[in-house]
Amino acid sequence: MSSANIQQGFTLVEILVVMVVMLLAYGLAPPLFSSGVSGTEMKAAARQLAAGLRKARSTAISTRRETALALDLEQRRFELSGDKQTYRLPAKVDLSLFTAQSELSGEKTGSIRFYPDGSSTGGRITIAGANRKYLVDVDWLTGRVAIQD
């Protein structure tokens, strides 16, 4: 039996392919570890705002009095009229408010008001992060609150 020269090792092409794959993985990894707000936190903030709006609507209907959710965009917090509790939102989300002109109380503050018949002034609160945003819409006629991706 003759012994054949068997070469062991990797070819240059194999090494280059591995290096390209590693560079791609390295390039995609930083967004996974970014310090921005996560999608889960943003969705939780949208749900928290929607719950507050729904509570304001149900309070207006049950007490037969106007109830408003007041939002402070700069401090990232909101409160309901007649409720002493202040609800905080994540510090790293960007908020914007679109509401009736009569409900704006400052450049960075405003509210969405609900009436005893269930209707409202209507509006939209936008919660945005680096790669995603959620819209919390309030229908002026029905007072219905909905979250949109």
**Tens-place pLDDT, residues 28-67:** 766 555 555 678 889 999 999 999 999 999 999 999 999 9
Q: What confidence score (pLDDT) does residue 143 get?
A: 95
Q: What confidence score (pLDDT) does residue 61 get?
A: 96
Q: What confidence score (pLDDT) does residue 16 get?
A: 86
Domains along the sequence of the chain with CATH: 39-148 (3.55.40.10)
In tens, the pLDDT along 88-128 reads 998 888 999 999 999 999 999 999 999 999 999 999 999 99
- Torsion angle in degrees (nearest 10) through CA of 37, 92, 146, 122: -160
Q: In this structure, how many other beta carbons lie within 10 angstroms of the beta carbon of residue 70?
A: 18
Instruction: State yes or no: pLDDT of 7 exceeds 80.
Output: no
Phi/psi for 95 (5° steps) reads -115, 145
Amino acid of residue 84: K
Write down the residue that tokens 């049950």 correspond to: 62
Taking a C-beta distance cutoff of 8 angstroms, is the pair 37, 130 a contact? Answer: yes
